Every structure is written in structure tokens, then in C-alpha cells.
């Protein structure tokens, strides 16, 4: 699901409370209504939106009561900094994913479908510890990213437009881009991008090539 749509959906407190409740156990409408102290009609509308988004599913028991439960694991990340705002949603990778391909991560958790309870509890503890460490690492990385971007802005020394320069520099660093691609990437008008590029070219920071604008080999 699109991260912006997911943010809008989860912006409602009652929908978040419903998800917290369903994360503990499947519930039917009356249970949810009593827990939230919200009318069944309002609950049904919240459930419909969550179900349409694919976050929850329903089933009917032998007494023909409709139970709702969490449908899938979803991770939503939001990053707000002086250099941008971004959000992304992600679903867990399949079991065949090889984490050793992530050269900056190290994780040793072994278990399989036939694991005993104590092995599973040990794996759970290791994974929870890794999750906590990963969260701390993400915060550390975000802080260092902003520090480096601050230093780039100071090095560019372009006054109020330093951050625009930084955005353009980090964009063309990845691969050559034309004005239209840069405009879309950094989210500023084409004419502003074009003017910035010309100024940066005069300063020897970037250059125009057949592939597009890129960092100057002499910069």
C-alpha cells in the first residue's frame, strides 16, 4: 500500500486502537465497539477502511459471528529532517532472503519448522534484541546523515540556497540526470534547477555531458 495513503489511514486514533486490539486477538464488532466506546456503526466503517487497505481480514465462526484479525505484517517508516520529508511502507521479505547479502548487518538466528519451544524462545529473544539494536542504528545513521549534509552545505557556501545545492549534488552523485529528472527528484521547478546547475557549473562543481548533468571530474 502507498505510504502516503497508509499515513492518512493511520492518522485516525480509533483505527490505531482497533489495530492494537486486533494485534492481541481476533475480535468481532461488538467487542471492538465496547473496547473503544464507539458505536458499532462507526466501528464497521473503520473496519471497512482497514479491510479495503488490506491491513485486516475477517472470518465467520460457527455462530455466524464475523471476526476481524490482522492480515499481514507492515512496516511504515517516516523520516523528517531539515533536508527532506519521506515515508515508505514495506512488507517482510520472504524466507528465502539471504541476510548475509547485507554487508553491514550480522545476524545469527537459526531455527526451522521443527524447532523445539526453547529454541524458538531463544530465536525470539535474539530477534527482539536485533530489532532494538537496528532501531538504535537507524537513529545513529540519520544523525550522521544530517551532520554530513550540514557539512556539504557549509562547503558549498551558497547562503540560503545551500540546501538546494546539496539536494542537487546528492542527486547527480548517484547518476547523471537531465534537468527534468532532477526537478522531479528534488521537488523544485525546472527553471530553478536549471539556474542552480549553471551556477554550479561556473563554479566547477558539476558539468554537462552527453549522459546529462554530473559531478565535475575536476571538482
Q: Per the domain annotation, does 102 fall within a domain?
A: no
Q: Per the domain annotation, does 122 fall within a domain?
A: no
Q: Per the domain annotation, does 121 fall within a domain?
A: no
> How far, in Å, CA of 163 to CA of 113, rounded?
51
Mean pLDDT value across residues 31-42: 94
Q: What is the CATH number of the domain that holds 205?
A: 1.10.10.10
Q: Which domain holds residue 165?
A: 157-215
**CB-neighbour burial class of residue 158 (10 A; exposed 0-12, middle 13-18, buried 19+):** middle
Candidates 31, 88, 98; CA nearest to 61 is: 31
pLDDT tier at 186, thresholds 50, 70, 90: confident
Mean pLDDT value across residues 191-218: 86
Residue 214 three-state SS: strand
Mean pLDDT value across residues 128-135: 84
Residue 29 three-state SS: helix
Q: Per the domain annotation, does 194 fall within a domain?
A: yes
pLDDT tier at 69, thresholds 50, 70, 90: very high
Cross-strand partners of 85:
80
In percent, how much of the chain has pLDDT > 70? 89
The model scores a pTM over 0.75: no
> How far, in Å, CA of 170 to CA of 67, rounded?
49
Domain boundary among 48, 70, 92: 70
In this model, does residue 12 exceed pLDDT 60? yes
Domain boundary among 49, 70, 91: 70
Q: Per the domain annotation, does 78 fall within a domain?
A: no
The pLDDT tens digits for 44-58 are: 999 999 999 999 999
Q: Per the domain annotation, does 90 fall within a domain?
A: no
Mean pLDDT value across residues 202-209: 87
Question: Mean pLDDT in the chain?
Answer: 84
Q: Per the domain annotation, does 112 fall within a domain?
A: no
Size (the chain), residues: 219
Domain boundary among 70, 94, 121: 70
Q: Per the domain annotation, does 37 fall within a domain?
A: yes
Domain total of the chain: 2
Question: What is residue 137's predicted lDDT score, i.e. its pLDDT?
Answer: 84
Top pLDDT among 60 and 72 is at: 60
CA dihedral over 112, 115, 119, 124, signed as positive or negative: positive
Question: What is residue 79's predicted lDDT score, i.e. its pLDDT?
Answer: 84
> How far, in Å, CA of 27 to CA of 16, rounded?
15
DSSP 177: B
Amino acid at each position: 500500500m502507498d505510504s502516503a495513503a497508509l499515513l492518512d489511514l493511520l492518522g485516525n486514533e480509533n483505527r490505531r486502537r482497533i489495530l492494537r486490539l486486533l494485534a492481541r486477538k481476533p475480535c468481532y464488532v461488538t467487542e471492538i465497539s465496547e473496547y473503544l466506546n464507539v458505536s458499532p456503526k462507526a466501528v464497521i466503517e473503520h473496519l471497512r477502511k482497514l479491510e479495503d487497505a488490506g491491513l485486516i481480514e475477517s472470518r465467520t465462526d460457527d455462530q455466524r459471528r464475523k471476526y476481524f484479525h490482522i492480515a499481514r505484517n507492515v512496516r511504515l517508516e517516516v523520516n523528517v529532517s531539515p533536508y527532506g520529508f519521506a515515508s515508505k511502507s514495506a512488507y517482510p521479505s520472504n524466507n528465502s532472503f539471504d541476510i548475509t547479502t547485507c554487508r553491514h548487518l550480522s545476524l545469527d538466528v537459526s531455527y526451522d519448522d521443527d524447532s523445539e519451544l526453547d529454541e524458538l524462545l531463544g530465536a525470539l529473544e535474539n530477534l527482539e534484541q536485533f530489532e532494538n539494536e537496528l532501531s538504535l542504528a537507524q537513529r545513529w545513521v540519520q544523525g550522521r546523515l544530517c551532520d554530513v549534509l550540514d557539512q556539504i552545505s557549509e562547503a558549498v557556501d551558497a547562503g540560503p540556497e545551500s540546501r538546494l545545492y546539496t539536494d542537487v549534488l546528492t542527486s547527480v552523485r548517484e547518476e547523471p540526470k537531465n534537468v527534468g529528472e532532477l526537478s522531479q527528484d528534488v521537488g523544485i521547478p525546472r527553471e530553478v534547477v536549471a539556474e542552480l546547475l549553471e551556477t554550479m557549473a561556473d563554479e566547477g562543481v558539476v558539468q554537462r555531458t552527453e549522459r546529462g548533468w554530473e559531478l565535475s571530474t575536476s571538482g
